[in-house]
Structure 1
Amino acid sequence: MTPPRILVLGTGGTIAGAGSGATGAAYRPGGLALETLIAHLDALGLVAELMPQDVARIGSQDIGWAEWQALHVACESALADPAVDAVIITHGTDTAEETGFLLDLTLPSPKAIVLVGAMRPADAVGADGMRNFANAVKVASDPAASGRGVMLVMGDAVLAARDARKAATSAIDAFRSFPRGPLARVTPASLDWFGPPHRANERARYSFPQALPRVAILTAGAGMDEQPVEALLGIGCKGVVLAGMGQGNAPASVIAALSQAAARGVPVVRSSRVDEGIVDRNVEVDDDALGLVAARALGPAKARMLLMVLIANGITDAAEVQAAFDGA
Structure 2
Amino acid sequence: MKLGLITTGGTIAMRKDTSGKSVPALSGENLLDTLPKLAESAQWEIKNFSNFASCNMTPAGMKNLALSVNELFSDPAIGGIVITHGTDTLEETAYFLDTVLSDPRPVVLTAAQRDSSETDSDGPRNLLEAMLVALDPSARERGTLVVLNSEIHAARDVRKLHTSQVNAFTSGAAGSLGNIDLHRVYWHRPPSRTPKLTLPERLANIALVKIYTDMPAGVLEAFFSAAEGLVLEAFGRGNIPPRLVPALEQAVQHGLPVVITSRCLFGRTAPAYGYPGGGADLERSGAWFAGDLSSEKVRLFLALALGLQLPLPEIKRLLEAAGR
CA displacement, residues 184-223 of structure 1 (integer Å, 9 cap, x when unaligned): 1014611101135766xx9x71111211111111111111
8 Å contact from structure 2 (residues 91, 160) kept in 1: yes
- The alpha-carbon deviation at position 9 of structure 1 amounts to 0.4
Distance 2:233 2:222 in 1: 16
Q: Which residue of 1 aligns with 2:237?
A: 247
Give the counterpart of 2:301 among 302, 306, 317: 306
1:23-71 Cα distance to aligned partner (Å, 9 max, x none):
x5x311x321221011223356641112211111011110124422321
- 2:79 corresponds, among 57, 63, 85, to 85
CA contact under 8 A between 2:3 and 2:80: conserved in structure 1? Answer: yes
C-alpha distance in 2, partners of 1:233/1:262? 10
Correspondence for 1:9: 6
* Distance in 2 between residues matched to 1:118 and 1:188, nearest whole Å: 20
Residue 266, structure 1, aligned to residue 256, structure 2: yes
Over the aligned positions, Cα root-mean-square deviation in angstroms equals 2.1
- 165, 170, 176: which is aligned to 1:176? 170
Asked whether the equivalents of residues 55 and 67 of structure 1 are also in contact (C-alpha less than 8 Å), the reply is: no
Indicate how the Cα distance of structure 1 residues 245 and 66 shifts in structure 2: closer, same or farther if over 3 A, else same: closer
CA 1:188/1:12 → structure 2, altered by over 3 Å: closer, same or farther?
farther
2:207 matched to 1:212? no
Give unmatched runs, 5+ long, in structure 2: none
Secondary structure class of the residue paired with 2:222? helix
d(CA) in 1 for partners of 2:260, 2:55: 24
Alignment-derived partner of residue 222 in structure 2: 231
Q: Distance in 2 between matches of 1:21 and 1:155?
A: 29
1:195: which partner in 2?
189
> May I ask how many residue pairs the two structures share in their alignment?
317
The 8 Å contact of residues 197 and 304 in structure 2, kept in 1 or not, is answered as yes
Matched residue, 2:158? 164
| Residue type at the aligned position of 2:292 | A
Go from structure 1 to structure 2 and tell me whether the alpha carbon gap of 1:99 and 1:270 turns closer, same or farther (over 3 Å shift): same
In structure 1, the residue matched to 2:58 is: 64
The percentage of aligned residue pairs carrying the same residue is: 31
Query: 1:250 & 1:242 partners in 2: Cα distance?
Result: 9
2:251 is the counterpart of 1:256:
no
CA–CA distance in structure 1, aligned partners of residues 145 and 309 of structure 2: 27
Partner Cα distance (1:255, 1:61) in 2: 32
Q: Cα distance 1:321–1:121, how it changes in 2: closer, same or farther (>3 A)?
A: same
The answer for the alignment partner of 1:281 in structure 2 is 271
Report the CA distance shift for 1:11/1:44 in structure 2 as closer, same or farther (over 3 A): closer
For residue 32 of structure 1, give the secondary structure of its aligned residue in structure 2.
Answer: coil
1:294 to 277, 284, 289: 289
Asked if residue 129 in structure 1 is aligned to residue 123 in structure 2, the reply is yes
State the one-letter code of the partner of 1:285.
G
TM-score by length of 2: 0.92
In the TM superposition, residue 131 of structure 1 has moved relative to its aligned partner by 0.5
Displacement of 1:259 in angstroms is: 2.0
Q: Is the 8 A contact 1:293 1:321 kept in 2?
A: no
3-state DSSP class of the match of 2:41? Answer: coil
Counterparts of 2:72 and 2:22, CA distance in 1: 32
Would you identify which runs of 4 or more consecutive aligned residues in structure 1 move more than 4 Å? 43-46, 196-199
Structure 1 residue 320, shift from structure 2 partner = 3.2
User: Are 1:39 and 2:33 an aligned pair?
Assistant: yes
1:17 partner letter: M
**CA–CA separation in structure 2 for the residues paired with 1:45 and 1:9:** 15
Task: Select 1:100's aligned residue among 78, 83, 94.
Answer: 94
Distance 1:316 1:282, change over 3 A: farther
Q: Which amino acid aligns with 1:223?
A: D
Q: TM-score, normalised by structure 1?
A: 0.91
Partner amino acid, structure 1, of 2:288: V
- 1:139-154 matches, cutoff 5 A: 139-154=133-148
Amino acid at match of 1:315: L
- Find the residue that maps to 2:223 and give its secondary structure: helix
In 2, the alpha carbon distance for the partners of 1:80 and 1:151 equals 20
